[in-house]
């Protein structure tokens, strides 16, 4: 054994404790740390010929890279939809690495049973019936990709061909309909060989991001009975708007289509009795995407793909090899997802659900929603700002009351970023340059919201 590696092995316990000190320092600083640090990119260093050992690597990390990390796990980072990581989720993720199980299939480990158990809990939490089976993937992009891959196989089934065997050309032209699709849906269509052009954007309700069911019906009617794919959205990026899933699903009585629902963050509305109505009808989907590294607050690299058609999923993702065996009635995960060897992503989710339960996660979701409402009120107390949509769930989308040009919005965002009090991102809504922020972190308090509002108001007041 390499002598440095051998020494690290002998001191593994002490070195883990040293790593813990780094972790502790980071966690303890999160509430006060700047939301974003000035990004510094250290000069490249040569690949170490002889290593420095773990202690040396920890030093180098602390010196070179850690100072440039953002506080995206902290309470005032509102960019994109950025979840934090609950204490139990961090512990679960840590143990995932320590135990390093391969959740591909039957490697004589309880890992796969744990994943099945966890996806069943998540289905229950989201109000999906037990006919849905779930598998963990890396994120919502991958979950959308897997859902649409199953949809592609379903289109083949309707036409009497197997896309998995014959290839996508056997399908001919495919139509995918959606009101306000997330960009990852286009990416998924590109990866699947269906093409970005297969997506037809359906008009939305007036001044909304939710699809207009009448317009959707007209699009389906125009297909003359040809089966299609509908991507419904439960939580849009700008305004966290929801398609009327019940109305969309009802159209299947008249038209043949696969219903995929992108509920990346919006699915978690289901945990709150006050907001659960937003996902009424989710249960009628054929496939559902949810992200866990957003509103479940587990570390990155975690989403789930649910479907009612595990048979079609197996047809797409089956990995034929004598040593892997036949998928059978309860296929191993390597026959259900793009990966073969897989990290046990379910463990972090299992930890946080076990530690905090439905009530704990409901409290996070409802506190984040209250934070968004409070921020909306504080910002619009200034006549210089206005909301571009009523606060949707946990998202605030606002702009300058006067002259909201892209340059002026950029200036506000720059000065907010310089204050390091919070991090917000630009967008366009109703063709107006705007700013959006989404609350999705378990640490955020009312005091944080007040600091965020003060920083934004200051930045707006500083505009000449
Ligand atoms: C974030 C998001 C995605 C993509 O998720 P990743 O985890 O970043 O791959 C897809 N759809 C919606 C609605 C999202 O909010």
Nearest residue (CA) to ligand 1, atom 15? 264
Q: Mean pLDDT, to the nearest integer, of 7-34?
A: 96
Q: What is the Cα–Cα distance from 181 to 234, expressed in whole angstroms?
A: 10
- Binding site membership of 303 for ligand 1 (Cβ less than 6 Å): yes
Q: Give, in order, the Cα–Cα distances in Å from 233 to each of 183, 242, 245, 267, 391.
A: 12, 6, 8, 10, 17
Instruction: Kindly report, residue by residue over 424-454, the tens digit of the pLDDT.
Output: 999 999 999 999 999 999 999 999 999 999 9
pLDDT of 101 over the 80 cut: yes
Domains of the chain in start order, with CATH, are: 3-71 (1.20.1340), 91-351 (3.40.640.10)
Average pLDDT, the chain: 96
Q: Which residues contact 226 (CB under 8 A, 6 or more apart)?
A: 175
Q: What is the pTM of this model?
A: 0.97
Q: Mean pLDDT, to the nearest integer, of 98-108?
A: 91
- Binding site membership of 394 for ligand 1 (Cβ less than 6 Å): no
Nearest residue (CA) to ligand 1, atom 13? 264
- Binding site membership of 290 for ligand 1 (Cβ less than 6 Å): no
Burial class (CB in 10 A: 0-12, 13-18, 19+), 32: exposed
Do the bridges between strand 425-429 and strand 395-400 make them parallel or antiparallel, or are there none, so unpaired? unpaired
Q: What percent of the chain is predicted at pLDDT more than 70? A: 100
Instruction: Confirm if 443 and 74 have CB atoms less than 8 A apart.
Output: yes
Q: What is the Cα–Cα distance from 11 to 9, expressed in whole angstroms?
A: 5
Q: Mean pLDDT, to the nearest integer, of 39-52?
A: 92
Using 50, 70 and 90 to split pLDDT, how confident is the model at 320? confident
Quote the strand ranges of 151-208, DSSP E.
176-178, 199-201
Residue 264 CA, ligand 1 centroid: distance in Å: 6
Phi/psi for 342 (5° steps) reads: -140, 140
Q: What is the Cα–Cα distance from 25 to 249, expressed in whole angstroms?
A: 49
Q: Which residues contact 309 (CB under 8 A, 6 or more apart)?
A: 150, 154, 286, 287
Q: Mean pLDDT, to the nearest integer, of 14-19?
A: 97
385: left (phi over 0), alpha (psi -120 to 50) or beta: beta
Instruction: Kindly report, residue by residue over 410-420, the tens digit of the pLDDT.
Output: 999 999 999 99
**What is the model's pLDDT at position 2?**
97
Instruction: Kindly report, residue by residue over 267-312, the tens digit of the pLDDT.
Output: 999 999 999 999 999 999 999 999 999 999 999 999 999 999 999 9
Least confident of 93-97, 110-114, 170-174, 328-332: 328-332
CB contact burial 238-250 (16+ within 10 A = b; e otherwise) = bbbbbbbbebbbe
Quick count: other Cβ atoms within 10 Å of Cβ 361?
A: 21
DSSP state, residue 198? G
Q: What is the Cα–Cα distance from 236 to 240, expressed in whole angstroms?
A: 4
Q: What is the Cα–Cα distance from 265 to 36, expressed in whole angstroms?
A: 23
pLDDT of 323 over the 80 cut: no
Do the bridges between strand 425-429 and strand 228-233 make them parallel or antiparallel, or are there none, so unpaired? unpaired
**What is the model's pLDDT at position 40?**
79
Using 50, 70 and 90 to split pLDDT, how confident is the model at 327? confident
Q: What is the Cα–Cα distance from 57 to 54, expressed in whole angstroms?
A: 5
Phi/psi for 262 (5° steps) reads: -90, 100
pLDDT of 326 over the 90 cut: no
Q: Mean pLDDT, to the nearest integer, of 171-182?
A: 97
- For a ligand 1 pocket test, name from 267, 282, 291, 397 the mutation site with the most ligand atoms within 8 angstroms of its C-beta: 291
Q: Mean pLDDT, to the nearest integer, of 87-113?
A: 94
**What is the model's pLDDT at position 108?**
86
- Binding site membership of 263 for ligand 1 (Cβ less than 6 Å): no
Q: What is the Cα–Cα distance from 261 to 252, expressed in whole angstroms?
A: 14
Q: Measured over all CA atoms, what is the biggest interatomic distance in the chain, rounded to whole angstroms?
A: 71
- For a ligand 1 pocket test, name from 83, 199, 209, 264 the mutation site with the most ligand atoms within 8 angstroms of its C-beta: 264
pLDDT of 156 over the 80 cut: yes
Of 462, 297, 305, the C-alpha closest to 384 is 462
Q: Mean pLDDT, to the nearest integer, of 196-215?
A: 98
pLDDT of 152 over the 80 cut: yes
**What is the model's pLDDT at position 62?**
95
**What is the model's pLDDT at position 400?**
98
Q: What is the Cα–Cα distance from 386 to 369, expressed in whole angstroms?
A: 19
Phi/psi for 431 (5° steps) reads: 65, 20
Quick count: other Cβ atoms within 10 Å of Cβ 99?
A: 11
Using 50, 70 and 90 to split pLDDT, how confident is the model at 464? confident
- Binding site membership of 73 for ligand 1 (Cβ less than 6 Å): no
Least confident of 14-28, 35-49, 214-228: 35-49
């Amino acid at each position: 054994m390499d002598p440095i590696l051998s020494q690290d092995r002998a001191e593994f316990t002490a070195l883990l404790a040293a790593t813990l000190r780094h972790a502790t320092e980071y966690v303890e600083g999160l509430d006060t740390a700047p939301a974003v640090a000035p990004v510094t990119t250290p000069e490249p260093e040569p690949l170490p010929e002889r290593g420095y050992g773990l202690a040396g690597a920890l030093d180098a990390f602390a010196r070179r890279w850690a100072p440039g990390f953002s506080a995206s796990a902290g309470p005032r980072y509102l960019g994109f939809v950025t979840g934090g990581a609950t204490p139990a989720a961090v512990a679960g993720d840590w143990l995932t690495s320590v135990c390093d199980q391969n959740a591909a299939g039957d490697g004589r480990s309880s890992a796969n049973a744990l994943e099945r158990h966890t996806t069943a809990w998540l289905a229950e939490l989201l109000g999906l019936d037990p006919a849905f089976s779930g598998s963990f993937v890396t994120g919502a992009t991958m979950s959308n990709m897997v859902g649409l891959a199953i949809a592609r196989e379903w289109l083949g089934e309707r036409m009497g061909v197997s896309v998995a065997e014959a290839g996508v050309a056997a399908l001919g032209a495919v139509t995918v309909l959606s009101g306000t699709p997330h960009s990852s849906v286009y990416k998924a269509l590109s990866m699947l060989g269906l093409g970005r052009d297969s997506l037809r954007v359906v008009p939305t309700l007036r001044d909304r991001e939710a699809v207009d069911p009448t317009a959707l019906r007209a699009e389906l009617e125009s297909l003359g009975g040809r089966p299609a794919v509908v991507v419904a959205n439960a939580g849009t990026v700008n305004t966290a708007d929801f398609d009327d899933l019940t109305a969309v699903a009802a159209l299947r009585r008249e038209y043949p289509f696969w219903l995929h629902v992108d509920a990346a963050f919006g699915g978690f509305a289901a945990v709150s009795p006050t907001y659960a109505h937003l996902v009424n009808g989710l249960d009628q989907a054929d496939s559902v995407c949810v992200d866990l590294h957003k509103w479940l607050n587990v570390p990155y690299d975690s989403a789930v793909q649910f479907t009612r058609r595990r048979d079609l999923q197996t047809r797409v993702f089956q990995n034929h090899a004598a040593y892997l065996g036949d998928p059978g009635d309860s296929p191993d995960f390597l026959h259900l997802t793009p990966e073969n060897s897989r990290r046990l992503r379910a463990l972090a989710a299992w930890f946080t659900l076990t530690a905090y339960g439905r009530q704990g996660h409901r409290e996070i979701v409802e506190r984040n929603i209250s934070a968004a409402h409070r921020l909306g009120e504080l910002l619009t107390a200034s006549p210089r700002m206005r909301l571009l949509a009523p606060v949707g769930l946990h998202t605030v989308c606002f702009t300058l009351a006067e002259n909201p040009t892209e340059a002026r919005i950029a200036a506000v965002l720059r000065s907010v970023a310089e204050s390091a009090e919070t991090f917000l991102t630009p967008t366009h809504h109703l063709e107006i340059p705007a700013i959006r922020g989404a609350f999705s972190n378990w640490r955020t308090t009312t005091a944080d919201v007040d600091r965020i509002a003060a920083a934004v108001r200051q930045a707006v007041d500083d505009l000449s």
